[in-house]
Structure 1
Amino acid sequence: MKTLAMTESAPPGGDNPGEPIELRLRRALGTRSIVLVGLMGAGKSTVGRRLAGRLGLMFKDADSEIEAAAQLTIPDIFAIYGEASFRDGEERVIARLIREGPLVLATGGGAFMREATRIRIAEGGVSVWLKAELEVLMRRVRKRGGRPLLQTEDPEETMRQLMDLRHPVYGEADVMVPSRDVSHDRVVQDVMEALDAHLNGPSNQGVAAQ
């Protein structure tokens, strides 16, 4: 994984540094999608929607697509069918959405944990890990209830355990961008600059030009 903690505007990459970053990214992506991964509360849906707007791409939220397909909410799917069944459906939905690309896709926190899903994302997309600190995540998730995995006596400890379990796997993503307490537009810009460096950096210029 290329760890790119973007805090200042990065210089444009690629063979045509004077063109807008949006055009460079669209060309470099081709038919691939941008897939956002990370824990609940990392801002995947909010950032993803704005990122899609900047790039002129469709935005899809995997959890919303799963709910539409099942005609049930995520908590109800967990309660009725269990997490294993939910993960099976999640894998199928993400595979379908990637085939429909290019788009910006926000995935659920556990999606990237499945090897088959990671392989599918690598084949048809570029993965971006939005990484947030524990206090940031907890502050955000407390504003919105209904998180099945946090229905425990100590949600903060549960989140800490999820971070310990999932962060090493999220680390396999192509790009990491900190999800900080700054404006959503700033995080979107960070994502775009990190993707530009990953896709259009010196080692990839020849690939991007093909």
Structure 2
Amino acid sequence: MTVVLVGMPGVGKSTVARQLAHSLGVPLWDSDSVIERRLGTSIREYFASQGEVAFRDLEQRVLDELMDGAPGVLATGGGVVLRAANRRCLHERGTVIYLRAAPEFLFRRLRHDTRRPLLQVADPLARLKELYAERDPLYRESAHFVMDVLRSSRGLLIHRILMQLELMPDESGGVSVPYPDIHEDVAS
């Protein structure tokens, strides 16, 4: 089964996915990279010329193709959960981990990033708060586990994900033990 990372823009999905795939010895896919290779242009440029609906249609097709492929680790775009069909696809065909972080944390990471079309507004922090309010319930709906990235160093986060995956049922129908939200403070 494919391990899928979902979460807000800038939370670290691609970076964590790369390290997780390496640790597991499985292929890595990044849906945004696949989309950009297919388009031959950046998502930002495609978004500007074709609009969000056209982008979301393409994103849905790419997600479906990736989830049909060989098992691996998949980093998704931040808005992949906006469509109900995508949320069902993710939850039913993958092990979904929601990497959660507060909008203020994300703003500090993204304030100078010009590649993200939804954040090219007068008040990006306010926009991040709006996106978080809209998407957090959708990420939770899709996810099997929630990992708070603010409470762990990246190495500890990878370790916790690997430990949780060990508890997942195998093809013979083992028992899954849900991993709770992480709230304790851990030094970064």
Is the pair's TM-score, using the shorter chain for normalization, greater than 0.5?
Answer: yes
* Compared CA separation, residues 157 and 77, structure 1 to 2 (3 A): same
CA contact (8 A) 2:101 2:148 kept: yes
The one-letter code of the counterpart of 1:73 is: S
Alignment partners' CA distance in 1, 2:21 and 2:113:
23
The one-letter code of the counterpart of 1:195 is: L
- Number of aligned pairs? 174
> 1:29 maps to which residue?
none
Structure 1 runs not aligned, ≥5 long:
1-31
> 2:85 maps to which residue?
116
CA contact (8 A) 1:134 1:159 kept: yes
Alignment partners' CA distance in 1, 2:63 and 2:146:
20
Identity, in percent, stands at 39
Deviation at 1:123, TM superposition (A): 2.9
Deviation at 1:124, TM superposition (A): 1.9
Residue 173 of structure 2 is aligned to residue 207 of structure 1 = yes
Residue 161 of structure 2 is aligned to residue 195 of structure 1 = no
TM-score norm. by structure 1 comes to 0.77
CA contact (8 A) 1:177 1:194 kept: no
* Compared CA separation, residues 95 and 206, structure 1 to 2 (3 A): closer
* Compared CA separation, residues 205 and 60, structure 1 to 2 (3 A): closer
Deviates more, 1:62-71 or 1:136-145: 136-145
CA contact (8 A) 2:26 2:71 kept: yes
Other structure's SS at 1:126 match: strand
Q: Deviations over 1:40-95 (max 9, x none)?
A: 01110000000000001101110000001111101001111000000000000011
CA contact (8 A) 1:175 1:195 kept: no
For residues 164-179 of structure 1, what are the structure 2 equivalents within 5 Å? 164-172=133-141, 173-179=143-149
Deviation at 1:184, TM superposition (A): 2.1
Deviates more, 1:93-102 or 1:138-147: 138-147
> 2:18 maps to which residue?
49
Q: CA RMSD in A?
A: 1.9
* Compared CA separation, residues 91 and 154, structure 1 to 2 (3 A): same
> 1:78 maps to which residue?
47
